[in-house]
Amino acid sequence: MWIVGATSTLIDAWGERHLELNRGYLRQKQWKEIAIIVSSCEDYTKPPKTELQCKNRIDTLKKKYKHEKAKIASGTGPTMWPFFHRLDHLIDPTAQSPVPTTPTEAHNVPQHKHKHKHKKKKKPFRGRRGSMNSNSS
């Protein structure tokens, strides 16, 4: 059984890697990283999740997303599924909807830190020393 916080952490970890791969498929090493992240989330007290469990959960979430997307397209009304907008942003490159967090989801989701790569600051260009354009003669 997946709790809301673990599912949310899974979507964050998977989504980050999914976008890094230009919406491509993840390799086993990446699924292992995701399983570690999900199992180490703050409020997770169950046995650790495996790579296969994480992959299967994402597959299930994708199916639910497609079902909800079809429901919306048919005019049945807006979705009440809390993960729809986040998955819409990650799965559909043409999605225009923002990525809101519902109050229920925000209350149940633990905050976790992402590693950010810092870019090196470039030093300003000061020109060449001893340039031939100098006016000193």
Total domain count, the chain: 1
The pLDDT tens digits for 59-101 are 999 999 999 999 999 998 889 999 999 999 999 888 765 554 4
Q: What length is written for the chain?
A: 137
The pLDDT tens digits for 46-61 are 899 999 999 999 999 9
Which residue range is the domain that position 25 belongs to? 4-108
Cα 134 to chain centroid distance, Å, stands at 54
Whether the pLDDT of residue 15 is over 70: the answer is yes
Per DSSP, the three-state class of 13 is helix
Instruction: Tell me what percent of the residues of the chain surpass a pLDDT of 70.
Output: 69
* 120 within some domain: no
20: enclosing H helix or E strand: helix 4-20
Which pLDDT score is estimated for 66? Answer: 95
Contacts of 19 (CB under 8 A, 6+ apart): 90
The pLDDT tens digits for 124-133 are 444 545 444 4
* 87 within some domain: yes
* 130 within some domain: no
* 94 within some domain: yes
* 88 within some domain: yes
Which pLDDT score is estimated for 94? Answer: 81
Rounded CA gap, 10 and 65, in Å? Answer: 15
* 117 within some domain: no
* 81 within some domain: yes
Rounded CA gap, 34 and 13, in Å? Answer: 6
